[in-house]
């Protein structure tokens, strides 16, 4: 096999591995808020404020995340399908339905623990 062909094969294999690799596991704490407006998400899906979905600035669409409210230990699993939040100090925007599973909507913002699945 020539060096050029071997290099091309290696690049093709590397590209396939990168595409097929799931999102890197992540965990930590941050502030999460909720949102209920919009028509289409950044992933192209129709926005459903009652769905168990969320927005994150960089995680891949489809990434599943367990979100736990640190004040009451209630958890919800959401799927990332949108981008945001665009407010300093927050790392997740949950849909109204998802947020309601872990806190009162009137709370607005809660400190959470997150773990990608």
Write down the pLDDT at residue 83. 98
How many structural domains is the chain composed of? 1
Write down the pLDDT at residue 86. 93
pLDDT > 60? residue 20: no
pLDDT > 50? residue 16: no
pLDDT above 70 covers what percent of the chain?
Answer: 80
Residue 101 falls within a domain, yes or no? Answer: yes
**Domain limits for position 65:** 24-116
CATH code where residue 72 lies: 2.40.40.10
Write down the pLDDT at residue 8. 44
Write down the pLDDT at residue 76. 98
Write down the pLDDT at residue 50. 97
Query: Between these two residues, 15 and 76, which has the higher pLDDT value?
Result: 76
CA dihedral for 103, 34, 22, 70, sign (positive or negative): negative
Query: Between these two residues, 20 and 4, which has the higher pLDDT value?
Result: 4
Residue 12 falls within a domain, yes or no? Answer: no
Q: Average pLDDT, stretch 96-115?
A: 98
Residue 2 falls within a domain, yes or no? Answer: no
The rounded distance, in Å, linking the Cα atoms of 33 and 87 is 10
Residue 36 falls within a domain, yes or no? Answer: yes
Write down the pLDDT at residue 18. 38
Closest listed residue to residue 114, CA positions, set 55, 61, 40: 55
From residue 112, how far is each of 2, 75, 96, 103 by CA, in Å?
54, 9, 16, 11
| H, E, C per residue of the chain | CCHHHHHHHHHHHHHHHHHHCCCCCCEEEEEEEEECCCCECCCCCECCCCCCEEECCCCCCCCEEEEEECCCCCEEEEEEEECCCCCCCEEEEEEHHHHHHHCCHHHCEEEEEEEEC
Residue 55 falls within a domain, yes or no? Answer: yes
**pTM, to two decimals:** 0.78
């Amino acid at each position: 096999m020539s060096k050029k062909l071997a290099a091309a094969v290696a690049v093709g294999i590397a590209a396939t591995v990168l595409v097929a690799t799931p999102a890197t596991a992540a965990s930590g704490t941050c502030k999460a808020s909720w949102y209920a407006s919009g028509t289409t998400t950044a992933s192209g899906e129709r926005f459903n404020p009652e769905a168990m979905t969320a927005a994150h600035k960089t995680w891949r669409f489809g990434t599943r995340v367990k979100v736990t409210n640190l004040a009451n230990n209630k958890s919800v699993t959401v799927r990332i399908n949108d981008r945001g939040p665009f407010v300093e100090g927050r790392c997740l925007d949950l849909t109204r339905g998802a947020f309601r599973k872990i806190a009162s909507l009137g709370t607005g913002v809660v400190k959470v623990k997150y773990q990608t699945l």
